[in-house]
Amino acid sequence: MSDGGLEPAGPTTYLLIDGENLDATLGARILGRRPAPEERPRWDRAVAFVGHQWGGTVKPRFFINASSGTFSMPFVQALMALGLRPVLLSGPPDVKVVDTGLQRTMEAIADRAGDVVLGSHDGDFLPQVQELMAAGRRVGLLAFREFVNTGYLDLVEQGLEIFDLEDEAKAFNHPLPRLRIIDLADFDPTTLL
């Protein structure tokens, strides 16, 4: 359900991934160190999840800060092989290039047909998310629930859908060492044994 080949009929959903934010959250706040390649999300699963949840065509865009003038070619090639389109951005050191690129992309989507699932925890995108929702767009957030900016939580009653990257999208090969509150209805004691 990506840009290549035959795509299903139906609405278009842009999956906009803030790679820096999700990787930093995984490393610093969950693992306590830089993630190894096998510990990072399987982005093809995230794309498939969004397609399954919302149907239609999924257009995944993975935003990367390339301001240093370099980027990891193997990583970019792996993204492309999975059907994701890398967006390599550069800019001055005082500009959050990935955030700015994502904001501009969401603003551009507001002028055309399409829904959005944003892969980020960052509250810098709240104005764009609110604008899309006000325009009647379906908007979702794909992140680790316990680290989502509280401004997004306030939008759930207005229709924002929040999906957990591990629990719902099943984007990881192994369980992450997350410390979070588990609703009793979802509690599986066998995970403790």
pTM over 0.85: yes
DSSP class per residue in the chain: --SSS---SS-EEEEEEEHHHHHHIIIIIIISSPPPGGGS--HHHHHHHHHHHH-SEEEEEEEEE-TTS---HHHHHHHHHTT-EEEEE---TTS-HHHHHHHHHHHHHTTSS-EEEEE---GGGHHHHHHHHHTT--EEEEE-GGGS-HHHHTTGGGT-EEEETTTTT---SS---------GGG--GGGG-
pLDDT for residue 182:
81
pLDDT for residue 152:
98
The CATH code belonging to domain 21-192 is 3.40.50.1010
pLDDT for residue 62:
97
**pLDDT (tens digit, 0 to 9) for every residue of the chain, 193 residues total?**
445 444 456 689 999 999 999 999 999 999 999 999 899 999 999 999 999 999 999 999 999 999 988 888 989 999 999 999 999 999 999 999 999 999 999 999 998 999 999 999 999 999 999 999 999 999 999 999 999 999 999 999 999 999 999 999 999 999 999 988 888 998 889 888 8
* Tens of pLDDT, residues 38-77: 999 999 999 999 999 999 999 999 999 999 888 889 899 9
Domain locations in the chain?
Answer: 21-192
